Amino acid sequence: MLVLGISAFYHDSAAAIVRDGHIVAAAQEERFTRKKHDPGFPASAVSYCLAVAGANANDLGAVVFYEKPFLKFERLLETYLAFAPRGFASFRKAMPLWISEKLFQRDLLLHELEAIAPGLGDNAKLRFCEHHYSHAASAYYPSPFQSALVLTMDGVGEWATASAAAGQGNELKIFKEIHFPHSLGLLYSAFTYYTGFKVNSGEYKVMGLAPYGEPKYAKAIFDNLIDVKPDGSFKLNLDYFSFCTGLTMVDERFGAIFGGAARKPSEPLQQRHMDLAASVQAVTEEVVLRMTRSLAAETNLRNLCLAGGVALNCVANGKVLRDGRFDQIFVQPAAGDAGGALGAALAAYYDKERAKGGKRVTDTPDSMQGAFLGPSYTQPEIETRLGAIGAVFKCADDKELIDETANALASGQAVGWHQGRMEFGPRALGNRSILADPRSPTMQKALNLKVKYRESFRPFAPSVLRERVADWFELDADSPYMLLVADVKPARRLAMTAKEKQLFGIEKLNVLRSKIPAVTHIDYSARIQTVHAETNPRFRALISGFEQLTGCPVLVNTSFNVRGEPIVCTPEDAFSCFMGTEIDFLAIGNCILRKNQQNPALAKDHKSAFDPD
Amino acid sequence: MSVLTELAEFLLTRKKLWLIPLLAVFLLFGGLFVLSQGSAVAPFIYTLF
């Protein structure tokens, strides 16, 4: 049976298609429309999924939306009632949209689907799946486990903000939930807002900023904002949050605890903001650890699956792994709402299979195929497209491609690497990546300021050969989706001088922490991607080639985009980003492009083409 | 009308028929806002959409 899953109308719209339990394709709409976190109906992503599956409307067994709009509306009504008359301003903003659009989501979906292909908007085939069940299904069904605890945490779905489910064979049942307004995701988002970053996209920055600070405010958070029980269940103290009734996350009472008003995005970061980031990170880790410890003891399950926006907190994930309550952890690479499209499709498929007594489909190491589920381009197609836009390129055979790219990396060049199928989820995993030499002491700053055009404090992640990960990092497990953080091995670290130890906050940025400084955060941590021959042989060959030249089996791997831009999808997107930044060398398929050979007239102002995130 | 039927069925299933009067008031006010604003474009509010 073929099932199409859709997530849309909030942020990060996406589509995914599943055939008999196997994932055929999945992509986020933003990659096609070039609008970051595009919330619109994912028409391009749906068309792409249908094309890859070679399917038309008649072939589909079901189309599944990733949440239940009426349940969400019920939550809204009850929230307004509970807080009336305080939420009037928010009500006034929200109701017109609900009444004119969101209550009619079934009609809207049918209309949009019908516009893609006649017959696709079939009311009899349209299903709705609960938000957290979609997340749970996206984590459990693609995992390699036959039984697992599944924990989902995010801002809010319909009512649930966190859920615990048990997966056994093709059964998946939620047995515990925490409900709105008590939300770990919203607590984190409140600090994201308060420290001057954008909610729903700046959470990564808070996590990246945390190691520059001390968790000085953790006690104040526990004392005032959140009451956490030993089993990890919690309640927020709503006196300090305004997201139930207002148009912001927090108000002045929140600021009174933490020493002032929220930082405006244009204001400079101070030590206080770093301490706040460290504090909310510490609180999040404590809550997650209490939850996982308690659930491990309660269920005796030895495998853990994670999804939901909070599961993208790879620092917390790393701590859960090291805590040792679970033998193995699988984190859905598209843990945010985009992954809900995939989960909804899988949930509907297994719902039918259970009735028929069908079996669970599993794969090794998992069923996500390295998250390479997006569009790809054939070599002739790449050549035609590059020729049409005036790019100067040469075609290389596989060996030449690897040798020349590895040489470019070893000589300190920033390399654009566009290969095979695009990744599904927020991370570039070696098919739409900017790569660089991690040994360079200046690379982190250079990449942030001259290539990515983003804040200088933000760390970069290492991609390392799976068989060499334990030689360089304190980790000996698969982390193919860059969702586990571990420290650089002590033997690879560089000792700090007495003077360097005196430095505070952002001053620490310039201190070299290891032999691979470009991917070593200031607390020696690294967000690791292990690279596997089974899922990405070409990327693996490139890292091996780099190791032969340098002795280092690690590369800097960051997404192929600039600040505010969705990760590149097509060869044209890649060329445009290459020409608009200080990337020196670009490999698209077997085509090699060097910056100094291009027509400078083709360079456009790429940096200001996108709103900063 | 199909939306109203669906909503009624939903509230019945959820055993939340007590929400109907509230829903009627909200729809009335909301409808007025739609008419007065002429547009359903609202800014992004964190938890509402």
Query: Can you give the three-state secondary structure of A397-414, one letter per residue?
Result: CHHHHHHHHHHHHHCCCC
Q: How many residues belong to chain B?
A: 49
Q: B42 vs A94: CB contact, 8 Å cut-off?
A: yes
Q: Is the peptide bond before A85 cis (omega within 30 degrees of 0)?
A: yes
CB-based contact (8 Å) between B35 and chain A? no
Cα–Cα distances in Å, from A472 out to A44, A461, A488, A590, B23? 41, 13, 6, 30, 59
Q: Which two tokens stand for residue A184?
A: 């770990």
Cα–Cα distance for residue pair A401/A539, rounded to 1 Å: 11
For residue A305, the cross-strand partners are A150, A330
Question: Homologous superfamily of A379-609 in CATH?
Answer: Carbamoyltransferase, C-terminal domain (3.90.870.20)
> Residue B44 pLDDT more than 80?
no
Q: Which residues of chain A carry a pLDDT beneath 70?
A: none
Cα–Cα distance for residue pair A388/A391, rounded to 1 Å: 8
- Beta pairing class for A585-588 and A415-418: parallel
Q: B43 vs A99: CB contact, 8 Å cut-off?
A: no
- Per CATH, the number for A2-136+336-360 is 3.30.420.40
- Best residue of A76, A93, A127 to probe chain B, by most B CBs closer than 10 Å: A93
pLDDT tens per residue, range A93-127 = 888 888 878 889 999 999 999 999 999 999 999 99
Cα–Cα distance for residue pair A421/A400, rounded to 1 Å: 21
Query: With contacts defined as CB-CB under 8 Å, which chain B residues touch A37?
Result: none
Cα–Cα distance for residue pair A29/A533, rounded to 1 Å: 29
pLDDT score at A32: 98
pTM over 0.90? The answer is: yes
CB-based contact (8 Å) between A89 and chain B? no
pLDDT score at B49: 45
Map out the domains of chain B as residue ranges.
2-35
Q: B42 vs A104: CB contact, 8 Å cut-off?
A: no
Q: B26 vs A77: CB contact, 8 Å cut-off?
A: yes
Detail the DSSP E strand segments found in A429-524: 432-436, 461-465, 484-487
Cα–Cα distance for residue pair A128/A123, rounded to 1 Å: 11
Q: Quick one: angle between helices B2-13 and B19-37, nearest 10? A: 150
Question: Homologous superfamily of A184-330 in CATH?
Answer: ATPase, nucleotide binding domain (3.30.420.40)
pLDDT score at B1: 65
pLDDT band at B37 (very low <50, low <70, confident <90, very high): low
Q: How many CB atoms lie within 10 A of CB A93?
A: 17
Q: Which two tokens stand for residue A268?
A: 């400079």
